[in-house]
Amino acid sequence: MTLTTFALVRHGQTDWNAQRRLQGSTDIPLNEIGRGQARDAVAALAGYEWDTVVSSPLSRAAETADVIAAGLGLSVARRLPGLIERGYGKAEGLQAGPELDAVRIPGGFEGAESEESTAARGLGALEDLAEEFRGRRVLVVAHGTLIRLALDRATGRTLPSVENAALNLVHHHPVDGWELEFFNGERLLAGVEV
């Protein structure tokens, strides 16, 4: 069985996360809590040998990946545009309330990327990596909505929000597809041999 194992890690916290603002594709940096979350994530990831580390090019994911990779004695191989967070259009930077409600439309927000498009883009990037690194272990640092929507599509589940810097471990088999072992640091499967 040729399993490709992925750790899908959401970036650490930013000030906009703390303020509950929609970030989307706006490039907001990590805050100090987020840097600490990135350092803490190393412990959960150190139990595996990783063949490569890739991330979204947005600074919050890139810095999280750099911190994690350094903690594991690795370096980030590349930044993949396909891993950028869902664009929320006019809603980016807004918090829940009248301003956000004013840009809401059926299925999302004015100018926003659709969930379907985000899921297809994110899963496409992961499938490309699964093909390139077949049978190996790939550590990916990206964004919460992108990871959740890609995993929803890959596994046929409807998952809750992805926590900052938590371990999400998924396996890809070229024939059998995707199997989620850990989500938000919690084991979902009894054990997958990797």
Number of independent structural domains in the chain: 1
Residue 86 labelled as part of a binding site: yes
Q: Find the CATH number of the domain harbouring 78.
A: 3.40.50.1240
Residue 165 lies inside a defined structural domain of this protein: yes
Which of 85, 92, 113, 181 is labelled catalytic?
Answer: 85
Residue 21 labelled as part of a binding site: no
Instruction: Give counts: helices (H), strands (E), the chain.
Output: 6, 9
**Running DSSP on this structure, what letter comes out for residue 126?**
H
| Cα 55 to Cα 42: distance, rounded to the nearest angstrom | 15
Residue 184 labelled as part of a binding site: no
The radius of gyration of the chain from alpha carbons, rounded to an integer in Å, stands at 16
Q: What is the pTM of this model?
A: 0.95
pLDDT digits (tens, 9 = 90+) for 125-168: 999 999 999 999 999 999 999 999 999 999 999 999 999 999 99
Residue 51 lies inside a defined structural domain of this protein: yes
Residue 176 lies inside a defined structural domain of this protein: yes
Q: In this predicted structure, what is the pLDDT of residue 189?
A: 67
Q: What's CA 64's distance to the chain center, in Å?
A: 11
Residue 192 lies inside a defined structural domain of this protein: no
pLDDT, averaged across the chain: 95
Residue 9 lies inside a defined structural domain of this protein: yes
85 carries an active-site annotation: yes
Q: Which residues constitute the domain of residue 30? A: 4-187
Residue 193 lies inside a defined structural domain of this protein: no
- How many Cα neighbours within 13 Å face the side chain of 102? 7
Residue 185 labelled as part of a binding site: no
In this prediction, residue 194 has a pLDDT band, given cuts at 50, 70 and 90, of very low
Residue 181 lies inside a defined structural domain of this protein: yes
Residue 116 lies inside a defined structural domain of this protein: yes
What mean pLDDT is predicted for residues 30-40?
98
Q: In this predicted structure, what is the pLDDT of residue 107?
A: 87
